[in-house]
Amino acid sequence: MTGNKKGCQEVWSFLTNVGQGYETDVIKGILSEANVPVLTKSKGAGAYTDLSMAMSNTGYDLYVPASRLAEARKLLNETEPIESIEFNEPEDTTDLTSGYILKYRNLFKKIFIVVFVIPLLLGLIFVLFQEITKSW
């Protein structure tokens, strides 16, 4: 793959394929800090689905100049995977076992049975009994 830069032909080499657009943005950000240019391409119908659905079903191929390929691979290998990064979000300190309803959940289960289930069953039995006695 060649690109035109200041009148000369520059050879671009395949770096990697990623599945999501945000991954391309992360990699571009890492490489741009080291001033490594990146070219992004979608294969086949992926370019069309990228426009219509904002995602590519074939992923994205990333290319860098052949002269900077080793540097780009080294930068990506030194980078910590996104999944292992810890974000400084406040921890949820809500104790789920200390709520009033959860604390007395067995009592609420018994109340539910007494107030709703038993009257419902008694009503069904009463209606069935009336239907049976009408047919005799």
Q: Residue 4's pLDDT is what?
A: 47
Which class is 2-81 in CATH? alpha beta
DSSP string over 43-109: -TTHHHHHHHHSS-SS-EEEEEEGGGHHHHHHHHHHSPPGGGPPP-PPP----TTSSHHHHTHHHHH
Q: Residue 56's pLDDT is what?
A: 65
Q: Which residue numbers in the chain have pLDDT < 50?
A: 2-4
Q: What is the per-residue pLDDT across 75-114, written as a single tens digit (0 to 9) for each?
A: 888 876 666 556 566 665 555 556 777 778 888 889 989 9
C-beta separation of 54 from 7 below 8 A: no
